[in-house]
Amino acid sequence: MSGLVKAWLAGGAMLALVASPALASERPFNLGKIATPEEVAGWDIDVRPDGLGAPVGMGNAIDGEEIYADRCAACHGDFGEAVDNWPVLVGGEGTLDSHDPVKTTGSYWPYASTMYDYIYRAMPFGEAQSLTYDETYQIVAFLLYMNDIIEDDFEVSHENIGTIEMPNRDGFFMPDPRPDAQPVASEPCMTNCDVPTNIIGRARDIDVTPEQES
């Protein structure tokens, strides 16, 4: 083998080494930049059910009443009863097994952490991430108090947001039991099937469809 060929082979081998992800870098594509702790802290705003991610702060319902009236009540009502079509936030206990279930933070939401997470990231509607950490804890405390879950002087904080017990904590189940509602026979019926064909309702009669036909 000539020296020239050896040099060429060696060069090729070196190129292969550089291109090999396992040897050159653990990053197969070497794209993107390392995020700084400050960058992550600014965007990593989620709060988990165990309290992970909850920022340092606290608030009680007494202070929360004022900020709630100022920032929330225009849509959700002074007592969480809601204005127009906006979500009801308070009440609804004992309605989930009725045909008029009222799903509120008190009657339905399984975790207090979700209240913090959602209010901070998305509320007030159209003014996302404008509340301070303490204001957010105050509003959470006010809603928990209105739903008879805590006392009005209880301080909700990063230390206990993951431990507050919500009334409907055990109202959810998984895993997904579907597929369900399947026919008994493996092959679906094709002829003379025994099914009801009486008309028991017409959308036309309910008359809530926009731009009705002429």
Partner 1 sequence: MAEDKNRNGTFSRRSLIGGAAALGSVGLSRVATGAEANPDNLPPNVSEWTPYLGAGVDANPYGMPSPYEEHVIRRNVEWLTASTESSVNFTPLHELEGFVTPNGLCFERHHGGVPEVIPTDYRLMINGLVDRELIFTLEELKRFPQTNRFYFLECAANGGMEWRGAQLNGCQFTFGMVHNVQYTGVLLKDLAREVGVKPDAKWILAEGGDSAGMNRSIPIEKIMDDCMIAWAMNGEALRPEQGYPARLVVPGWEGNMWVKWIRRLEFGDMPYMAREETSKYTDLMEDGNARMFTWVMDAKSVVTSPSPEKAILEKGVHQLKGLAWSGRGKITRVDVSLDGGRNWQTAELHGPVLDKCLTRFTLPFEWNGEELLVQSRAMDETGYVQPTIDALQAERGVNSIYHNNAIATWMVNKDGSVDNVRLG
Q: Segment 141-180, which members bind partner 1 (CB under 8 A)? A: 171-180
Tell which residue, 139, 163, 145, 136, has the closest CA to residue 52.
163
Residue 85 as a binder of partner 1 (CB under 8 A): the answer is yes
C-beta separation of 156 from 48 below 8 A: no
Which of 8, 13, 101, 159 touches partner 1 by CB under 8 A? 101
Out of 1, 4, 19, 201, the residue judged to bind partner 1 by CB under 8 A: 201
Determine the interface stretch with partner 1 among 6-14, 136-144, 153-161, 201-209 (rule: CB under 8 A): 201-209
Region near partner 1 per CB under 8 A, out of 1-9, 10-18, 132-140, 200-208: 200-208
SS3 39: helix
Measure the N-to-C terminal CA separation of the chain; round to a whole number of Å: 89
Beta carbons of 168 and 108 less than 8 angstroms apart: yes
Q: What is d(CA 21, CA 37) in angstroms, rounded to the nearest whole number?
A: 26
Per-position x/- string for 17-46, each x denoting binding to partner 1 as judged by CB under 8 A, each - no binding: ---------xxxx-xxxxx---xx--xxxx
4 vs 206, beta carbon nearer partner 1: 206
